Amino acid sequence: MTIKIGERKTIVVVDAKESDYKQLVRCPSAENWSFKFLSTGRQALRFRNTDSAGCWIINMHLADFNGPDLFQMLRRDLDGTPTFLVSDRYRVEYELEAYSVSAAAYFPKPLDELWLNQWVNSTASNSGEVSPPRQIRTSNP
């Protein structure tokens, strides 16, 4: 996927806790992105056939789905769109599960401007190719 100058792509966030993304949405680097918040896996399954998504962020634990399972259901329709799995707190078993389903990466919340610059903007400019996974340490409350 290549994003043309002036083209706004959407970061689709599947997470019941939209407020956890305030810092990300308000950061200066987010001005080139729009955000679509979906609170359940069912909403994500209905939304999946959109071309506007530049990346997806899926919580590991939704009310109606396990995040990795949802990602596997969406994978064919996402056609290589970078998809990141997140959780409220870091757990090594979540990270291993995320990589076992070939997510672009796993991160604990909150996601911030550093994350956006290092992951989303770089994967968008590299036609969806993601560098080998590495952990970015973020503060966890």
Structure tokens at 34: 């729009």
For residue 16, is it within any domain?
yes
Number of domains in the chain: 1
Q: What backbone phi and psi angles, to 5 degrees, belong to 9? A: -105, 165
Task: Give pLDDT tens digits for 35-80.
Answer: 999 999 999 999 887 667 889 999 999 999 999 999 999 998 888 8
For residue 133, is it within any domain?
no
For residue 35, is it within any domain?
yes
For residue 140, is it within any domain?
no
CATH number at residue 27: 3.40.50.2300
Structure tokens at 31: 């001005």
pTM: 0.81
**Rg over CA atoms, the chain:** 14
For residue 106, is it within any domain?
yes
For residue 29, is it within any domain?
yes
For residue 81, is it within any domain?
yes
Task: Give pLDDT tens digits for 116-134.
Answer: 888 766 665 554 444 434 4
For residue 135, is it within any domain?
no
Q: Which domain holds residue 98?
A: 9-125
